[in-house]
Structure 1
Amino acid sequence: MSYPIGRWRITWMETWDQEFVDLIEPGHFRFDENGLGFFIFGAVEGQVDYRLSDDGQRIEFSWSGNDDGDEKSGRGWFELTSSNTAKGRFFIHCGDESAVEVQLQA
């Protein structure tokens, strides 16, 4: 499996505590081979469209979805910190933002 393909568990977010992150199901991002993906944490979920940097160490994405039923969109990025961990930022358009850390699930 090559970065970033797979399911990445959200292990920490600066703005929201882990109880909120795991409100509906364990918070995570999923990146598929076709440049698309999905995420869910708390009451926020969305479809992801991502691009990988030339060196393969950074992923940038835009997303559209909802926050507690209200239509939302945004963007974000991750940088690989090891073979199975990454750190980045998540942005809700005209709304909250947060640092985020994720870990690849086996």
Structure 2
Amino acid sequence: MINIVGRWRIKWMEMWDQDFVDLIEPGYFQFDKDGLGFFMFGAVEGEIDYRVTDDGARVEFSWSGNDDGRENSGRGWFQFQSAGSAKGKIFIHCGDESAVNIEFQA
């Protein structure tokens, strides 16, 4: 089982280039021990409520936050490739969706 707790750096997004992902600060997903977390990329930020699947190979989450100052929400998931990398997708409710690659930072 992969320990997902910690900060995961966004290394690539299908819909946005890395300059946008790192617009305000380096884009990331933060998973805390309590099943909650936070993410930020570009002008999008949100609080995460996540669940790890029983086999520990996947995490699924919902989120609420804002997109360039407008209240928004969505969902997403990551499939772990190894202890230090995952690929997944993030969905913005009634809006964009993007594939995402992340790497563990600490």
TM-score by length of 2: 0.97
Distance 1:41 1:3 in 2: 22
- Name the counterpart of 1:82: 82
Distance 1:82 1:54 in 2: 17
**One-letter amino acid of the structure 1 residue matched with residue 79 of structure 2:** E
Which secondary structure does the structure 2 equivalent of 1:88 belong to?
Answer: strand
Which secondary structure does the structure 1 equivalent of 2:82 belong to?
Answer: coil
Ranges in structure 1 where 5+ consecutive residues have no aligned partner = none
- Name the counterpart of 1:30: 30
Quote the offset at 1:3 in angstroms.
Answer: 2.0
Distance 1:80 1:4 in 2: 9
- Name the counterpart of 2:16: 16
Equivalent runs, 1:61-100 vs 2, <5 Å: 61-100=61-100
Aligned residues: 105
Ranges in structure 2 where 5+ consecutive residues have no aligned partner = none
CA RMSD of aligned residues (A): 0.7
TM-score by length of 1: 0.97
Which secondary structure does the structure 2 equivalent of 1:19 belong to?
Answer: helix
Which secondary structure does the structure 1 equivalent of 2:55 belong to?
Answer: coil
